Amino acid sequence: HKSNFMERYWSPYQVILFGSENPLNISRVANFCYVLVVTSQENHLKIFSKSTDENVPFIPDEIKGSPMNGVIIPWNCFTLDMGLSYLTIKDIDEENKDNIWYALKYIRYRVKLAIVISSDDEITQEKAENRALKAAETIRKYLGFMPICVVAQSDIRMNVERGKKGKNLYEDSSVLIYYGNDVNASALVAYSEDEETLKNRFKIWKDNSFCLDDHQVIAFHFTMVNGSEPKNSEEIFSDVFPDIPISTLRLLGGPSTVGVNYPFGFDAGPVYVIIGWRKFGCGLSEEEIDVNYFYCDLSSSESSSETDYNLSDYDS
């Protein structure tokens, strides 16, 4: 990986940003870069997605709301058993064999986390909460037992033309799927407004989470204004998890919903997610590494009866 890093000068590969105040200027990328920007306003949710390259610098529109924060993932930082794929809710509804959703169903036991972000359907005007919860149930049915985060905000603007994708590539949904044997994830719904109670919940969560020392870890926080958590909840999180950077998407308007679809049902409330990628050479014995490679081979042979599904061919 060292030579690849040097050749690409740590160029961004995937960028996930929340908010659009003080936006980043993403330029001089060595190859294509997928950018997702989600910005909440009082009357609607803006979901922007674009693939950019060295010839097309990317500067998001500055929008009043939450300050921009997020995650930048560089090229060549994933092994073959770490993946992040992007879909829309419409992709999940389709049975197109060229769609990544179709390919993901063949490795469903390696999917570790899904995040469903939704506004109202551009065409049918189905409300954000309903379509996001239905999408989560579909993901649960086909992809297994991982936590599925739901973030939904309806569009309450008046006299706005709908039914057409805007020229700036705004979407009405985004679905992020994290998968791979070297990926781990955990989600917690923080529905306590008492600081000490929340801190204790974070400590228990930390004690029962995957081995954080063996993983490169990030965190997401999905919440709403006047949500059922202390105003300093992120500070409390950082006190308990001092080495984990956290990025927040705060929904500023309504009707809005945040929560987690667990195998036993939907739990509504502010959500914290930690996602870890296993560090190179950490946490696995030689025997376990052999088993993992054998496991990957099995996943390939399972799908070979119809076609050879390589998720890297589908990733944005």
Q: How many domains does the chain have?
A: 1
Is 45 inside any structural domain? no
Task: Go through the chain and tell me how many residues it has.
Answer: 316
List per-residue pLDDT tens for the chain, 316 residues long: 444 544 555 677 788 999 887 777 776 666 778 889 999 989 999 998 888 776 676 777 777 777 888 888 877 666 557 788 899 999 987 666 667 888 888 888 889 999 999 999 988 999 999 999 999 999 999 998 999 999 999 999 887 766 555 455 689 999 999 998 889 999 999 988 999 999 999 999 999 987 778 888 999 999 998 888 999 999 999 999 999 999 999 999 879 999 999 999 999 999 999 999 887 655 554 444 444 433 333 333 333 333 333 444 444 4
Is 118 inside any structural domain? yes
Range of the domain at 166: 79-278
CB 21 within 8 A of CB 65: yes
| CB-count exposure of residue 267 (10 Å: 0-12, 13-18, 19+) | middle
Is 103 inside any structural domain? yes
Q: What is the pLDDT of residue 14?
A: 85
Supply the DSSP symbol for 172: S
Amino acid at 30: A
Is 308 inside any structural domain? no
CB 230 within 8 A of CB 193: yes
Is 290 inside any structural domain? no
Is 142 inside any structural domain? yes
Supply the DSSP symbol for 214: G
- Rg of the chain taking only CA atoms, in angstroms: 19
For residue 189, which of 229, 154, 238 has the smallest C-alpha distance? Answer: 229
Q: Is the pTM of this model over 0.75?
A: yes
Is 203 inside any structural domain? yes
- 258 DSSP β-pair partners: 151
Is 242 inside any structural domain? yes
Q: What is the pLDDT of residue 100?
A: 83
